[in-house]
Amino acid sequence: MATSNSLDALVQALRRLPGVGVKSAARMAFHLLQHDREGALALSQALAQAVGSMRHCERCHTFCEAQVCEVCQDPERDATRLCVVETPADQSALERTGAFQGLYFVLMGRISPLDGIGPKDIGLKKLLDRASDGVVQEVILATNFTAEGETTAHVISEALKARGLRTTRLARGVPVGSELEYVDLGTIAHALADRR
């Protein structure tokens, strides 16, 4: 199939999205060009505006347009509790629950020795300085339950404990609404160990 350089460039750009292969990218490109040119323009403008205006919050590293994000500026938040997450998407997920009213620190990654990413690469020093501000009383480690997330949580926990700071970890367990016979054995084992 003959395609133009512009179409090829669009397909290659869409392939940069996580989980999008060549076929999916081509399908999206053809849809936007054939059925939704207005949507394509809105998407390109919104993307250009976000790239041009979004920065990292000076206090927590999440994405925002100001120097300090709305969460960090909110005087109603509990400044004694600091929740550490890997990405802004993880922070957003926690915020949507409405269950946490403290502040955040976004690592913008996780420790991954195989990929050459160490503690310095995820801003461990800045996290330690933030957690040692004299206000924070508890640091909640909410990294993912992957090998890299567990390693990251362990390294951070040890560094914080060396400074005399209290650390806790998100509990693991059986998902709400699930049936035990369909839950993987590792999840059941962690739920038994972390029971309360």
Choose among 82, 76, 57: nearest CA to 133. Answer: 82
- Cβ(190)–Cβ(173) under 8 Å? yes
Query: Does any domain span residue 68?
Result: no
157 and 90, same domain (yes or no): yes
State the pLDDT at residue 93: 92
User: Does 191 map to a domain?
Assistant: no
Please tell me whether residues 30 and 113 are part of one structural domain: no
Mean pLDDT by 10 residues, the chain (196 residues): 78 94 94 93 94 93 94 96 95 92 95 91 92 94 92 94 92 81 82 75
Is residue 41 domain-shared with residue 97, that is, in the same domain?
A: no
pLDDT of residue 3: 57
Q: How far apart are CA 45 and CA 67, in angstroms?
A: 23
The domain in which residue 153 lies consists of 78-169
Question: Residue 89: inside a domain, yes or no?
Answer: yes
Q: CATH code at 127?
A: 3.40.1360.10
Q: What is the pLDDT of residue 123?
A: 87
Task: Say which CATH number the domain at 20 has.
Answer: 1.10.8.420
- pLDDT reported for residue 29: 94
pLDDT at residue 117, as a whole number: 93
In-domain check, residue 180: no
Count of Cβ atoms closer than 10 Å to residue 152 Cβ: 25
Length of the chain counted residue by residue: 196
Looking at the fold, whether 30 and 108 belong to one and the same domain comes out as no
Q: Where are the beta strands (DSSP E) in 134-176?
A: 138-141, 166-169
